[in-house]
Protein backbone atom coordinates (compact mmCIF):
# COMPACT_ATOMS: atom_id res chain seq x y z
CA UNK A 1 0.00 0.00 0.00
CA UNK A 2 1.41 3.38 -0.98
CA UNK A 3 0.65 6.69 0.65
CA UNK A 4 1.23 10.32 -0.25
CA UNK A 5 3.32 11.33 2.77
CA UNK A 6 2.96 14.99 1.83
CA UNK A 7 -0.82 14.66 1.95
CA UNK A 8 -0.58 13.05 5.38
CA UNK A 9 1.62 15.86 6.68
CA UNK A 10 -0.69 18.52 5.25
CA UNK A 11 -3.76 16.91 6.78
CA UNK A 12 -2.07 16.71 10.18
CA UNK A 13 -1.01 20.36 9.92
CA UNK A 14 -4.52 21.51 8.95
CA UNK A 15 -6.18 19.56 11.76
CA UNK A 16 -3.71 20.86 14.35
CA UNK A 17 -4.28 24.45 13.19
CA UNK A 18 -8.03 24.08 13.71
CA UNK A 19 -7.46 22.65 17.19
CA UNK A 20 -5.09 25.44 18.15
CA UNK A 21 -7.81 28.02 17.45
CA UNK A 22 -10.43 26.43 19.71
CA UNK A 23 -11.47 28.66 22.64
CA UNK A 24 -11.23 27.39 26.26
CA UNK A 25 -15.02 27.10 26.68
CA UNK A 26 -15.22 24.72 23.72
CA UNK A 27 -12.43 22.59 25.18
CA UNK A 28 -14.21 22.44 28.54
CA UNK A 29 -17.62 21.52 27.10
CA UNK A 30 -16.01 18.91 24.85
CA UNK A 31 -14.42 17.24 27.86
CA UNK A 32 -17.74 16.94 29.67
CA UNK A 33 -19.46 15.46 26.61
CA UNK A 34 -16.62 13.00 25.96
CA UNK A 35 -16.73 11.82 29.58
CA UNK A 36 -20.48 11.23 29.40
CA UNK A 37 -20.42 9.34 26.10
CA UNK A 38 -17.32 7.26 26.91
CA UNK A 39 -18.98 5.98 30.07
CA UNK A 40 -21.89 4.88 27.86
CA UNK A 41 -19.66 2.42 25.96
CA UNK A 42 -21.05 -1.10 26.23
CA UNK A 43 -17.58 -2.39 27.10
CA UNK A 44 -17.58 -0.25 30.25
CA UNK A 45 -21.22 -0.81 31.15
CA UNK A 46 -20.80 -4.61 31.22
CA UNK A 47 -21.29 -6.24 34.60
CA UNK A 48 -18.81 -8.66 36.12
CA UNK A 49 -15.13 -8.17 36.83
CA UNK A 50 -13.77 -4.62 37.29
CA UNK A 51 -12.89 -2.87 34.06
CA UNK A 52 -9.42 -1.64 33.10
CA UNK A 53 -9.04 1.29 30.70
CA UNK A 54 -5.80 2.56 29.19
CA UNK A 55 -6.26 6.30 28.68
CA UNK A 56 -4.10 9.43 28.45
CA UNK A 57 -3.92 12.97 29.80
CA UNK A 58 -4.89 15.44 27.08
CA UNK A 59 -2.67 18.42 26.33
CA UNK A 60 -3.06 21.55 24.22
CA UNK A 61 -6.01 21.48 21.84
CA UNK A 62 -6.69 17.76 22.24
CA UNK A 63 -10.24 16.83 23.28
CA UNK A 64 -10.03 17.10 27.05
CA UNK A 65 -9.79 13.86 29.04
CA UNK A 66 -9.55 15.46 32.51
CA UNK A 67 -13.22 14.95 33.47
CA UNK A 68 -13.21 11.49 31.90
CA UNK A 69 -10.25 10.26 33.94
CA UNK A 70 -11.87 11.26 37.22
CA UNK A 71 -15.26 9.82 36.29
CA UNK A 72 -13.75 6.51 35.27
CA UNK A 73 -11.88 6.30 38.55
CA UNK A 74 -14.98 7.27 40.54
CA UNK A 75 -16.88 4.48 38.77
CA UNK A 76 -14.37 1.92 40.03
CA UNK A 77 -12.54 1.53 36.73
CA UNK A 78 -8.79 0.93 36.90
CA UNK A 79 -7.19 3.59 34.69
CA UNK A 80 -3.73 3.16 33.19
CA UNK A 81 -1.88 6.19 31.86
CA UNK A 82 1.14 6.23 29.54
CA UNK A 83 4.69 7.14 30.51
CA UNK A 84 6.81 8.12 27.50
CA UNK A 85 10.11 6.24 27.29
CA UNK A 86 13.33 7.50 25.71
CA UNK A 87 12.75 5.41 22.57
CA UNK A 88 9.17 6.75 22.14
CA UNK A 89 7.63 3.51 23.42
CA UNK A 90 5.11 3.71 26.26
CA UNK A 91 5.27 2.34 29.79
CA UNK A 92 2.12 2.49 31.96
CA UNK A 93 1.18 3.46 35.51
CA UNK A 94 -2.09 3.68 37.45
CA UNK A 95 -4.01 6.96 37.58
CA UNK A 96 -4.32 7.95 41.23
CA UNK A 97 -5.89 11.37 40.81
CA UNK A 98 -4.91 14.69 39.26
CA UNK A 99 -2.76 15.56 42.27
CA UNK A 100 -0.54 12.56 41.48
CA UNK A 101 0.29 13.72 37.95
CA UNK A 102 3.76 15.12 37.32
CA UNK A 103 5.08 17.27 34.49
CA UNK A 104 7.28 15.36 32.04
CA UNK A 105 9.02 16.13 28.76
CA UNK A 106 7.18 17.56 25.72
CA UNK A 107 4.60 19.17 28.00
CA UNK A 108 3.13 15.81 29.02
CA UNK A 109 1.55 14.97 32.36
CA UNK A 110 2.34 11.49 33.65
CA UNK A 111 1.37 9.48 36.73
CA UNK A 112 3.85 9.51 39.59
CA UNK A 113 3.23 5.95 40.75
CA UNK A 114 5.06 2.68 40.04
CA UNK A 115 5.62 1.71 36.41
CA UNK A 116 3.78 -1.41 35.28
CA UNK A 117 5.78 -2.10 32.11
CA UNK A 118 4.91 -1.69 28.42
CA UNK A 119 2.97 -4.97 28.41
CA UNK A 120 0.50 -3.66 31.03
CA UNK A 121 -1.63 -2.21 28.24
CA UNK A 122 -2.59 -5.76 27.20
CA UNK A 123 -4.61 -6.00 30.44
CA UNK A 124 -6.98 -3.23 29.29
CA UNK A 125 -10.56 -3.93 28.25
CA UNK A 126 -10.61 -0.60 26.41
CA UNK A 127 -7.73 1.50 25.07
CA UNK A 128 -8.58 5.17 24.58
CA UNK A 129 -6.33 6.54 21.86
CA UNK A 130 -5.36 10.08 20.97
CA UNK A 131 -5.62 10.93 17.30
CA UNK A 132 -6.28 13.67 14.80
CA UNK A 133 -8.95 12.02 12.66
CA UNK A 134 -10.62 8.76 11.76
CA UNK A 135 -12.29 7.72 8.52
CA UNK A 136 -15.51 5.85 7.79
CA UNK A 137 -13.70 2.47 7.98
CA UNK A 138 -12.22 3.22 11.42
CA UNK A 139 -8.72 4.02 10.14
CA UNK A 140 -7.06 6.36 12.67
CA UNK A 141 -4.73 9.22 11.81
CA UNK A 142 -2.24 9.78 14.63
CA UNK A 143 0.26 12.57 15.13
CA UNK A 144 3.11 10.60 13.57
CA UNK A 145 5.26 9.94 16.63
CA UNK A 146 4.82 6.17 16.44
CA UNK A 147 4.22 5.55 20.16
CA UNK A 148 0.69 4.25 19.69
CA UNK A 149 1.66 2.27 16.60
CA UNK A 150 3.83 0.25 18.99
CA UNK A 151 0.98 -0.07 21.46
CA UNK A 152 -1.40 -1.36 18.80
CA UNK A 153 1.21 -3.80 17.47
CA UNK A 154 1.80 -5.03 21.05
CA UNK A 155 -1.92 -5.65 21.55
CA UNK A 156 -2.08 -7.52 18.25
CA UNK A 157 0.90 -9.75 19.12
CA UNK A 158 -0.65 -10.56 22.49
CA UNK A 159 -3.97 -11.50 20.91
CA UNK A 160 -5.65 -9.08 23.32
CA UNK A 161 -9.41 -8.72 22.97
CA UNK A 162 -9.25 -5.00 23.55
CA UNK A 163 -11.66 -2.39 22.22
CA UNK A 164 -9.81 0.46 20.53
CA UNK A 165 -11.53 3.84 20.83
CA UNK A 166 -10.21 7.18 19.56
CA UNK A 167 -11.31 10.48 21.14
CA UNK A 168 -11.99 13.26 18.63
CA UNK A 169 -13.99 16.34 17.74
CA UNK A 170 -16.98 15.80 15.44
CA UNK A 171 -15.32 17.59 12.51
CA UNK A 172 -12.48 15.03 12.65
CA UNK A 173 -14.72 12.20 11.42
CA UNK A 174 -13.59 12.13 7.79
CA UNK A 175 -14.55 10.17 4.68
CA UNK A 176 -10.96 8.99 4.21
CA UNK A 177 -7.51 9.40 5.74
CA UNK A 178 -4.18 8.48 4.11
CA UNK A 179 -3.06 4.97 5.10
CA UNK A 180 0.23 3.12 5.48
CA UNK A 181 0.73 -0.65 5.90
CA UNK A 182 1.34 -0.35 9.65
CA UNK A 183 -1.81 1.71 10.32
CA UNK A 184 -4.54 0.02 12.37
CA UNK A 185 -8.30 0.37 12.49
CA UNK A 186 -10.16 1.27 15.67
CA UNK A 187 -13.50 -0.10 16.77
CA UNK A 188 -15.10 3.22 17.67
CA UNK A 189 -14.67 6.96 18.03
CA UNK A 190 -16.17 9.07 20.79
CA UNK A 191 -16.92 12.69 19.94
CA UNK A 192 -19.03 15.35 21.67
CA UNK A 193 -22.06 14.09 19.72
CA UNK A 194 -21.76 10.45 20.80
CA UNK A 195 -20.25 7.05 20.06
CA UNK A 196 -19.49 6.15 16.44
CA UNK A 197 -18.92 2.46 15.62
CA UNK A 198 -16.95 1.13 12.66
CA UNK A 199 -17.10 -2.17 10.81
CA UNK A 200 -13.37 -2.59 11.35
CA UNK A 201 -11.74 -6.03 11.11
CA UNK A 202 -12.42 -7.87 14.35
CA UNK A 203 -14.51 -4.99 15.75
CA UNK A 204 -16.93 -5.50 18.58
CA UNK A 205 -20.47 -4.20 18.30
CA UNK A 206 -22.81 -2.65 20.84
CA UNK A 207 -25.07 -4.99 22.76
The CB density around residue 25, as the number of other CB atoms within 10 Å, is 8
Bind-site residues for substrate: 57, 62
> Rounded to the nearest 5 degrees, what angle is found at the Cα of 142, between the Cα atoms of 107 and 57?
35
Render pLDDT for 77-133 as a digit per residue (tens, 0 to 9). Answer: 999 999 999 999 999 999 999 999 999 988 899 999 999 999 999 999 999 999 999
The pTM for the full model equals 0.90
Bind-site residues: 8-12, 57, 62, 140-148
Instruction: Tell how strand 101-103 and strand 133-135 pair up.
Output: unpaired
Q: Distance between CA atoms of 1 and 13, rounded to whole angstroms?
A: 23
Measured in degrees and rounded to the nearest 5, phi and psi for residue 175 equal: -70, -35
Render pLDDT for 37-52 as a digit per residue (tens, 0 to 9). Answer: 999 998 887 655 668 9
Domains of the chain: 5-197 (3.40.50.10420)
Bind-site residues for ATP: 8-12, 140-148
pLDDT category, 1, cuts 50, 70, 90? very low
> Rounded to the nearest 5 degrees, what angle is found at the Cα of 191, between the Cα atoms of 188 and 194?
80
User: Counting runs of H as helices and runs of E as strands, what totals does the chain give?
Assistant: 5, 12
Amino acid sequence: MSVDHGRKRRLRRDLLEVRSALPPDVLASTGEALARHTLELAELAATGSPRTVAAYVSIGGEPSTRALLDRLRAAGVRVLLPVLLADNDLDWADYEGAERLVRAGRGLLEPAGPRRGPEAVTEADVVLLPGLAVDRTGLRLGRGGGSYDRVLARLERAGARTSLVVLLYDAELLAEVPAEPHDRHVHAAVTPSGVHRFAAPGARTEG
